[in-house]
Amino acid sequence: MNDASGALRRTALYDAHLALGARMVPFGGFEMPVQYTSILAEHDAVRKRAGLFDLSHMGQFELHGRDVGEWAETLTVNRVANMKPGQARYNIFTNERGGAHDDVIFYRISDDDWLLVVNASNADAMWRVVSAARSGDVRLTNLHGERALIAIQGPRASALLQPYVEADLAALRYYACTLSRVREARDPILIARTGYTGEDGFELFLSNDEAVGAWDLLLAENRAHGLTACGLGARDVLRLEAGMPLYGHELDENITPLQAGLAWAIKFDKPAFVGRDALAAQRDAGDYTRIVGVTMEGRAPARAGYAVFASGERAGEVRSGSWGPSVAKNIATALVAPSAAAEGTPLEIEIRGARHPAVTVPLPFYRRPKN
């Protein structure tokens, strides 16, 4: 987050963003590009060609030691210890009530070397969580802001990235990672087939001083092939269409992964983890409010915080909302009572005092075509 003076931090690519005419906004304690030209144009580039994102504001923690897997299992809902080197896995750190401290990705680089990527807005709090819980042979290094993260996302990502990378990207499966030599970097870097857009793509973890060269080179040599610098505005629309949660919206300290529709990530058969009993009780009671997809019938977009009604009664609240270009509708997520959660439930969203028709729909709104 902000340092003591409240000043915003800058990623290594700050000057590159300004040179591209980016509009910068504060996000997670950093000055980040929200858009370069147009959110819709950048969204379109990722869906049809490829987009390049600076995600260096995200928290990166290195975890080392024999006990990392077992240790992390006790703090999170998903399995960690059975990950193999070269695997990445989505996970959620929970509190005692089953609410989410953060949603994260673990990358197992080798038997004893891991990378944990956390949300920028939670990086300080998450560092406190993991530091306070440290035990056994687990060593932690906080690299937040000290190492860059560049994502290339879109149907052309693999073809455009391959010429720079020694590893065979075709052999790197979804949610796999590998250390590979790349042009412009002294040492091998971690490359993962992960992302937050609903498209195929890769995330590249590289040193701050090598990030600028890599960013500039990728853009300069691939602009003609459709590679477009994309800001956080497009990223938010892309992830919402893809039904991916954003911490603070679909997940927070009071919204459990069960409520967020992430039951697939909760392994109740693990011996113990923080919040397990609360989650099991919530699952057994079954009457919890839950995140659903919503589409609006009209042109007025639903926005976070708007009230949701079903059968004339207050049924919940919008948590994220935007125009969804891929479905040509206004789309939203809402946290609603179970009675309003069934697909096809007619809803009304209150916008500036007037109620607008909407309907409960399954998530995601958008699924990329299989090739």
Partner 1 sequence: MAQPAGLLYSKEHEWVKLDGDVATVGITDYAQASLGDIVYVELPRLGATLEQFNSIGVVESVKAVSDIFTPVGGEVIAINDAIESDPALVNREPFGGGWFYKVKLGDVSQTGELMSPEQYDRLISET
Q: Tell me which residues touch partner 1 (CB under 8 A).
A: 23, 34-35, 38-40, 233, 236-237, 299-301, 303, 322-323, 330, 352
Shortest Cβ distance from residue 40 to partner 1 (Å)?
4
Q: Which one, of 94, 108, 269, lies nearest residue 192 by Cα?
A: 108
- DSSP H/E element including 294: strand 290-296
Amino acid at 223: R
Where do the H-state alpha helices sit in 263-302? 276-285
Burial of 173 (0-12, 13-18, 19+ CB in 10 A): exposed
Measured between alpha carbons, how far is 64 from 103 in angstroms, rounded to an integer?
20
Shortest Cβ distance from residue 199 to partner 1 (Å)?
18
Measured between alpha carbons, how far is 219 from 19 in angstroms, rounded to an integer?
12
Nearer to partner 1, 231 or 257 (CB): 231
DSSP letter (8 states) at residue 11: -
CA angle 332-338-343, nearest 5°? 55
Nearer to partner 1, 189 or 232 (CB): 232
Nearer to partner 1, 41 or 129 (CB): 41
Measured between alpha carbons, how far is 318 from 356 in angstroms, rounded to an integer?
13
Shortest Cβ distance from residue 138 to partner 1 (Å)?
40
Nearer to partner 1, 11 or 322 (CB): 322
Measured between alpha carbons, how far is 266 from 259 in angstroms, rounded to an integer?
12
Measured between alpha carbons, how far is 209 from 206 in angstroms, rounded to an integer?
8
Shortest Cβ distance from residue 232 to partner 1 (Å)?
9
Shortest Cβ distance from residue 115 to partner 1 (Å)?
30
3-state secondary structure of 314: strand
Shortest Cβ distance from residue 365 to partner 1 (Å)?
15
Nearer to partner 1, 35 or 76 (CB): 35
**In sequence order, what E strands does 156-246 have?**
177-180, 189-192, 201-207, 227-229
DSSP letter (8 states) at residue 288: -
Q: Are 208 and 148 in contact (CB under 8 A)?
A: yes
Nearer to partner 1, 48 or 139 (CB): 48
Nearer to partner 1, 147 or 329 (CB): 329
Nearer to partner 1, 231 or 364 (CB): 231
Shortest Cβ distance from residue 226 to partner 1 (Å)?
19
Shortest Cβ distance from residue 141 to partner 1 (Å)?
35
Which residue is associated with the tokens 């959620």? 92
